[in-house]
Amino acid sequence: MEDGEFSMELDMAVRVVHLACALCRRVQEGLVSADNAQVMTKDDDSPVTIADWSVQATVSWILSEYFGSKNVSIVAEEDVQTLSKPDSRTLLSAVVKTVNECLAEAQRYGLQCPPSELGTSEILEAISRCNSTGGPTGRHWVLDPVDGTLGFVRGDQYAVALALIENGEVVLGVLGCPNYPLKKECFDYHYKAATPKSSQPCSDTFEKGCVIYARRSYGGAWMRPLVHGDEKLEWPNSASLVRVSSIDDPALATFCEPVEKRNSNHSFTAGLAHSVGLRKQPLRVYSMVKYAAIARGDAEIFMKFARTGYREKIWDHAAGVIIVEAAGGVVTDAGGRPLDFSRGIYLEGLDRGIIVCSGPILHEKIIGAVYASWDSSSL
């Protein structure tokens, strides 16, 4: 790939996300066909699986080996509390097995394999190493090992998200989307299901899975299909530039929002959509795949307005934000201000919600609608 600032870091990030996606695909196949015994519930009632811990351990180990453990600061979602409990031995054993199976294939992705299998303590250490809180100075990797775990468990959309923040600014982002259809018409069919089965444009075996990435001053956002079978990762020769949609008429725009109501107010976004003139039904999509949809031009708008008390975390947005912006889109809070990734693990100072658009015309209309309707809302 071309040289330049953060080129080495981007190369490593793209490779490790590809590897993590391969891990997730194997685990998801087992979850969907089994009884979900490997799904746990965290203290905040959100699900977590062996894939979450296994991806975090894998990414942490590779970044630490490549850049040096003393030089790597990683902000990530999971900890080892659940895995360290006496009744979690079977779960921990599954994580250890999954990580070692994954790392054994690292060379296919141009990455270093460990000289021997990692032990339980080494894997717990790799997970625990991701305990940085970020901040306004220094360099911090930000990882969501499986964004959209509920979608992952259900065999639906999810993402592996990795970003790099330097001195409070996101400088590169990589989104791995293993279940994302490569063809727009397949994405449309998957969510709108308006085509009779006899004339489906996309079968159950349609090609899916991609990695989308961007870095500061790299000239846009890029996408590459995931590797399959025994294929080796060859990039960036096989990557293609992606751009946001040119649609700026609200009546023609496609609008995405989170599936879960726990951290998103669907009724408020429905009111905004109506006032702006959005006519299509919203696509409720798990995970940061919504950012990928905007960047690829498959949708034009993503809005999220969390309920009172919910705090947005940086790993849920960092990679997606830089990718959408590099593809020509606009991302701000509901007051029109850029998101601030310099204040720790939360997006502190967030004004009401998050608005992601393919262009400034739609963005300005939504910002105006928020100001017009906010006082009458229940948020």
Residues with catalytic annotation? Answer: 52, 149
DSSP secondary structure string for all residues of 312-370? -BGGGTHHHHHHHHHTT-EEEETTSPPP--SSSSB-TT--S-EEEESSHHHHHHHHHHH
Among residues 170, 254, 240, the alpha carbon closest in space to that of 210 is found at 240
Structure tokens at 369: 């609608």
44 labeled binding residue:
no
Q: Is 35 annotated as a binding residue?
A: no
Spell out where 137-282 has E strands.
139-147, 159-166, 169-181, 208-215, 221-225, 240-242, 255-257
Is-contact 209 183, C-beta < 8 A?
Answer: no
Contacts of 64 (CB under 8 A, 6+ apart): 72, 126, 129
Of the candidates 315, 310, 323, 160, which has an alpha carbon nearest to the alpha carbon of residue 302?
323
Q: Is 147 annotated as a binding residue?
A: yes
3-state secondary structure (DSSP) of residue 151: helix
Tokens for 157, please give them: 């959309």
Are 373 and 272 in contact, with CB atoms under 8 Å apart? yes
Query: Quick count: other Cβ atoms within 10 Å of Cβ 42?
Result: 15
Distance, CA of 119 to CA of 252 (rounded, Å) = 54
C-alpha 303/C-alpha 318 separation (Å) is 16
Tokens of 167: 């001195």
The residue type found at 175 is L
- Which amino acid belongs to residue 317? H
Query: Does 316 appear as a known binding residue?
Result: yes
Is residue 172 a contact partner of residue 352, using CB atoms and an 8 Å limit? Answer: no
Annotated binding site for Mg(2+): 77, 144, 147, 316
